Amino acid sequence: MIFLSCSSDMYTYNTYHLAKAFFPEEEMQQNVSEEMEDVFRLTFPDGRVFAVKAGDIPEGTDRSRKKYAVDAALYKACREYTGRDLAWGILTGVRPTKIAMQKLEQGMDEDSFVRWFQEDSFVSRGKAVLAWQVAGREKKILEQLDYRDGYSLYVGIPFCPSVCSYCSFSSGPIDYWRDSVEDYLKALMKELSWIGERAAERGKRLNTIYIGGGTPTTLEEGQLERLLSHIDRCFSRESLLEYTVEAGRPDSITEGKLKALKGHGITRISINPQTMQQRTLDLIGRGHTAEEIEDSFHMARSLGFDNINMDLIAGLPKETAADMADTLEKIGALGPDSLTVHSLAIKRAAKMGQEKSSTGSIAALAGDPAVMARELSAMIEEAYRAAESMGLSPYYLYRQKNIAGNFENVGFAKVDKAGIYNILIMEEKQSIIAAGAGSSTKILLDEPILVPGSRHGRKTTLVRVENVKNIREYIARIDEMINRKGEWLWR
């Protein structure tokens, strides 16, 4: 058990996640008391106490530097207690490359950045170099875009053949929702029509489209054709640079669906095995074979798709570094144009997360958490080596809360096959307008506004507008979803 006490709620998020990264197997108890004498206090599992006292932070220090002082002191204390470092140091945010991008745009050179990142945030040299390299590749790709008058479109299809045990996205099994698909598509098309009309009225240019989910190819061939045709009618392709569809699981892919995608000019698809180990596919609830993954890939290639991404997850239950190496060898034989490697994130909405909360330990997934971390580290290193051998370079990365081993998710791609939409999601430099249940619109404003509900006058140029996750609620409240966007979109 780890006990954390904070004198202000501004310290709770970072200190919790830093402590959890050092002690993934420990249950955390956290409280806030403005009356406590210390600024922050942590009790280690053996009863030892670490504290940051008020005198440790100079008077007049602003809010962000106070948080940094506590984070840095906690990191050093945990490092001394455990005898180990975290690859990403004190960083708890999901977008470490945004920091590198900011410094790059300010004119900092690589050596200066790497040195500063190591000293300021305790990031390892390897991760600092990685962040810089990825930011550089992102910058070159994003230079093609019009940030102010361009935008990207996300279309969400919240259905899957079955729900995988590791997944916490807003999706449901198609057999349960089949009778609601037509009503869902009707609502979705209404929302897409409104977005298209609004964009045309304001003279906005569409740069990328991403149809995700869920598994979009769970739709029947006729339904998929109807949706793609509707998008064609609603949006101009004059400025379109990329059109991605997550073909996803091979048990949802047919030749007819792939032909529909090709016929509508989709430029990039994802075929996502997650692993090529059959016993793992069975364990996590994917109703297909490893051979079907290969068959779907070859089918897509034969139909002319020249930009195919494949997703893998490192750290799936019972898998070892040797399993990951075997999976990567099989993926390498296929020769995808890009590869995305995710580190397993234990999320509460997934079955795995429920197992974790009931036991209080990630031991339910893989035994000793220390062993799990070592295996995961070896898997990630193997992924980097394999990607390089395939001629793929890292072009975007992000982190999630509760990633096992405190690692990152990385996208690798051939020089001209990087996913533009993926970069935009991370760097938040262009508005992304999202349609569908559970989708999140991100609107970039010309001028900063006060963050709604902020008690400290914090300002932002990014507004998020969320659609409801529940599929039935989305269908019933589609007009409300549209009106929510209308309050902010290109006013």
Q: Tell me the average pLDDT across 182-204.
A: 97
Handedness of CA 214, 218, 221, 226 (dihedral sign): negative
Q: What pLDDT is stored for residue 345 in this prediction?
A: 62
In one-letter notation, the amino acid at residue 68 is Y
The yes-or-no verdict on residue 367 having pLDDT over 60 is no
Q: Tell me the average pLDDT across 255-259.
A: 97
Measured between alpha carbons, how far is residue 481 from residues 163, 469, 478 in Å?
A: 26, 11, 5
Q: Tell me the average pLDDT across 37-57.
A: 96
Q: Which residue shows structure tokens 């977005």?
A: 195
Q: Tell me the average pLDDT across 174-185.
A: 90
Handedness of CA 352, 353, 355, 361 (dihedral sign): positive
Q: Where does the pLDDT of residue 134 fall: very low under 50, low under 70, confident under 90, or very high at 90 and above?
A: very high
Q: Tell me the average pLDDT across 257-274.
A: 97
* pTM of the model as a whole: 0.90
Q: Tell me the average pLDDT across 356-371.
A: 46
Q: What pLDDT is stored for residue 317 in this prediction?
A: 83
Residue 376: phi, psi to the nearest 5? -65, -40
Contact 135, 100 (CB under 8 A): yes
Q: What pLDDT is stored for residue 355 in this prediction?
A: 45
Q: What pLDDT is stored for residue 350 in this prediction?
A: 42
Q: What is the mean pLDDT of the chain?
A: 90
Percent of the chain with pLDDT over 90: 72
Q: Where does the pLDDT of residue 268 fall: very low under 50, low under 70, confident under 90, or very high at 90 and above?
A: very high
Q: Where does the pLDDT of residue 125 fall: very low under 50, low under 70, confident under 90, or very high at 90 and above?
A: very high
End-to-end CA distance of the chain: 50
Q: Where does the pLDDT of residue 473 fall: very low under 50, low under 70, confident under 90, or very high at 90 and above?
A: very high
Question: Measured between alpha carbons, how far is 352 from 371 in angstroms, rounded to an integer?
Answer: 18
**pLDDT greater at residue 47 or residue 360:** 47
